[in-house]
Chain A
Amino acid sequence: MATQTESESSGGGVLMRDRLVKRVGEVAAGGFVLAIGGLLAWILSTQVDYDLLASPLIARRFAEAFFLVIQIVVISSLLSVSLGVLVGLGRISTSNVTGRIAKGYVEFFRGTPLLFQLFVIYFGVPRLWATGEFPFTDWAIPAAIIGLTLNHGAYVGEAIRGGIDAVPNGQMEAARSLGMSRVMALRQVVLPQAWRNALAAIGNDQIILVKDTSLLTVIAVPEIMSVFRNINSNQLDPWTPLVWVCVLYLAITMSMSQLVNGLERRSDWGSDSRMFGRLSGLGSGDDDGGEET
Chain B
Amino acid sequence: MTGPLVEFDGVDKSFGDTQVLYDVDVDVDEGEVVVVIGPSGSGKSTLLRCANRLEEIQGGDIRLDGRSVIETDVNEIRQQIGMVFQSFNLFPHKTALENVALAPEKVKGEPEAEAKRAASDLLDRVGLADQAESYPGALSGGQQQRVAIARALAMEPRVMLFDEVTSALDPELVGEVLDVIEGLAADGMTMVLVTHEMGFAREVGDRIVLMADGRVVERTETRSFFDEPSTERGQQFLSRLL
Contacts and interface: CB of A to CB of B under 8 A. Distances in A.
Interface of A: 168, 170-171, 173-181, 184, 188-189, 192-193, 196, 267, 269-274, 276-278, 280-281, 283-284, 286-288, 293
A286 B143 CA distance: 12
20 contacts: A173-B54, A173-B89, A177-B82, A177-B152, A178-B103, A179-B78, A180-B103, A180-B106, A180-B107, A181-B75, A269-B93, A272-B137, A273-B90, A274-B92, A277-B88, A277-B89, A283-B141, A283-B173, A286-B138, A287-B170
B198 interface: no
A283 B107 contact: no
B170 A168 contact: no
Interface of B: 52, 54, 75-76, 78-79, 81-83, 85-93, 102-103, 106-107, 134-141, 144, 148, 151-152, 155, 167-170, 173
B140 A179 contact: no
A283 B140 contact: yes
Contact of A278 (B83, B87, B107, B148): B87
B175 to A, nearest CB: 14
B89 A180 contact: no
Contacts of B136: 269-270, 273, 276
A135 B151 CA distance: 57
Nearest to A276: B137
Nearest to B136: A273
Given A179-B103, A273-B137, A192 B155 contact: no
A178 B152 contact: yes
Contact of A170 (B85, B107, B167): B85
A170 B89 CA distance: 6
Nearest to B161: A177
B156 to A, nearest CB: 11
Nearest to B139: A284
Contacts of A193: 91-93
Given A272-B137, A280-B87, 19 more contacts: A175-B91, A177-B52, A177-B54, A177-B152, A178-B78, A179-B78, A180-B106, A180-B107, A184-B106, A188-B102, A267-B93, A269-B93, A270-B135, A276-B137, A276-B141, A278-B87, A281-B168, A284-B139, A284-B140
A270 B91 contact: no
B93 A277 contact: no
A39 B240 CA distance: 76
